[in-house]
Copies of this chain bind each other. A is one copy, B any other.
Amino acid sequence: MPFKNLNELVSPNKSKIVLLIMDGLGDIPPAPGGKTPLEAAHTPNMDRLAAEGALGQTIPIARGITPGSGPAHMALFGVDPVAHEVGRGVLEAFGVGMTVRRGEVAARGNFCTVDQQGVITDRRAGRIASEQAQPLVERFNQIKLPGVTTEVRHVKEYRFAVVMRGEGLSPDLDETDPQKTGVKPLEVVAKNPAAQHTADLFNQWIHKAWELLSDQEKANCLTLRGFATDPGLPQYAEMYGLRAAAIAVYPMYRGVAQLVGMDVIQFEGESPSDEFAALKRVWNDYDFFFVHIKKTDSYGEDGNYDGKMHIIEGVDQALPELLALEPDVLMITGDHSTPVKLKSHSWHPVPFLLWAPASVRIDDQTAFGETNCANGGLGTFNSLEAMPLAMAHALRLAKFGA
């Protein structure tokens, strides 16, 4: 397990650390004797880094546990995702580009179908298509409530997210989804007296939203779940003494980065080159850079072997632009595995490459792939230990004890 009081050892210097995450990078061979997309990909740059660095494999949460992207990223950032749960509402909101600050309350919303007595007949409104749901969600932004503002965005199909902002709000609310059909949606109930005002506001909001759906057949009602606020996670500046920048195309990853105190860098485009160009632009302003590549995961979830392989090759081709900046420590890894064969996130260990010319113990592995990583000199370790390793290799940690 990682060292508890790492921040007491932090000893700042001018080194630059880059954490390049290819989402869902890890995979499994489609058949005995086969190669994973990472192993099959032509990656001369990553292979060179592997030869000059050290490999290992990470366990995102615990053996056998398949993580969501939120917890998997938190672990790589050094924040225990089991000890620090980030509410669903907050993740959902960040995922569609809304921010949730301390004291603001986010919730995840589901469209549902009710009959004339208001009893739920379908908890997911017949899995209404996104094109139909999107304009319905837009209607909710007309809703006015006293003393607070609300922002609503569509997520996918029957799902949306809502954020309420104002004074004296509390996320200590029970959700309104009864988790079964044949009963009415529940009222928002406060878990304690301090949350009563917020419960009243959300009940008013639900009532007005329901009215706006009165012309609908399928999506004629809604439930709210996962009320939550910014969980107040440990911040990069405090944990590591690092000024940290996040470079990611997708909002959800920017969101998790913000929650641990990273600055989100704005940029145009969405290719690896675009991301590395953004990195270059802010290179002198930060010590730590999180760069996120999404599409490895997307192709994994689609079951598209070649697609995933080509994304990896694209990152490799752009890599010299990053290397030209001469980082002191470069980690290339995934947040979790998304095997093409499984078409979903999985629990498999994740390939991890550590390159740090001044301080790394070079191992005997000369290519970047799952089997190489299982045989690498860093061994198998929990994702929570990635940041301590990065800090050590950047020579940013003092000795423990005399």
Query: Per a CB cutoff under 8 Å, which of B62, B387, B402 touches A388?
Result: B62
Report chain B residues within 8 Å CB of A364. 371, 374-375
Evaluate contact between B361 and A64: CB separation under 8 angstroms: no
Report chain B residues within 8 Å CB of A62. 1-3, 385, 388
Query: Per a CB cutoff under 8 Å, which of B57, B61, B360, B363 touches A379?
Result: B57
Evaluate contact between B63 and A400: CB separation under 8 angstroms: no
Evaluate contact between B57 and A388: CB separation under 8 angstroms: no
- B-contact bits for A369-382, CB 8 A (1 contact / 0 none): 01100111101110
Evaluate contact between B63 and A381: CB separation under 8 angstroms: yes
Cα separation A380 to B375 with both chains bound (whole Å)? 11
- B-contact bits for A305-346, CB 8 A (1 contact / 0 none): 000000000000000000000000000000001010110111
Evaluate contact between B400 and A362: CB separation under 8 angstroms: no
Total interface residues in chain A, CB < 8 Å: 75
Report chain B residues within 8 Å CB of A95. 402
Report chain B residues within 8 Å CB of A347. 389, 392, 397
Query: Per a CB cutoff under 8 Å, which of B63, B64, B399 touches A66?
Result: B399
Cα separation A32 to B91 with both chains bound (whole Å)? 43
Evaluate contact between B380 and A371: CB separation under 8 angstroms: no
Query: Shortest CB–CB separation between residue A251 and chain B, in angstroms?
Result: 13
Query: Shortest CB–CB separation between residue A266 and chain B, in angstroms?
Result: 25
Query: Shortest CB–CB separation between residue A30 and chain B, in angstroms?
Result: 10
A28 close to chain B: CB less than 8 A = yes
Report chain B residues within 8 Å CB of A385. 62-64
Cα separation A153 to B69 with both chains bound (whole Å)? 56
Evaluate contact between A388 and B64: CB separation under 8 angstroms: yes
Cα separation A4 to B347 with both chains bound (whole Å)? 16
Cα separation A347 to B85 with both chains bound (whole Å)? 30
> How many copies of this chain does one complex carry?
2
Contacts A52-B32, A345-B399 hold; do A3 and B359 have CB atoms under 8 A apart? no
Evaluate contact between B88 and A402: CB separation under 8 angstroms: yes
A349 close to chain B: CB less than 8 A = yes
Query: Per a CB cutoff under 8 Å, which of B1, B27, B92 touches A402?
Result: B92
Evaluate contact between A71 and B400: CB separation under 8 angstroms: yes
Query: Shortest CB–CB separation between residue A28 and chain B, in angstroms?
Result: 4
Cα separation A52 to B75 with both chains bound (whole Å)? 31
Evaluate contact between B389 and A64: CB separation under 8 angstroms: yes
Query: Shortest CB–CB separation between residue A315 and chain B, in angstroms?
Result: 21
A194 close to chain B: CB less than 8 A = no
CB-nearest residue of chain B relative to A30? B362
Report chain B residues within 8 Å CB of A360. 28
A348 close to chain B: CB less than 8 A = yes
Evaluate contact between B64 and A401: CB separation under 8 angstroms: no
A67 close to chain B: CB less than 8 A = yes
Evaluate contact between B69 and A402: CB separation under 8 angstroms: yes
A97 close to chain B: CB less than 8 A = no
Evaluate contact between B342 and A359: CB separation under 8 angstroms: yes
Query: Shortest CB–CB separation between residue A175 and chain B, in angstroms?
Result: 15
Evaluate contact between A349 and B66: CB separation under 8 angstroms: no
Cα separation A400 to B349 with both chains bound (whole Å)? 15
Report chain B residues within 8 Å CB of A398. 66
Query: Shortest CB–CB separation between residue A342 and chain B, in angstroms?
Result: 6
- Between A and B, 8 residue pairs with Cβ closer than 8 Å are A63-B388, A64-B385, A64-B388, A64-B397, A65-B397, A70-B401, A81-B401, A379-B379
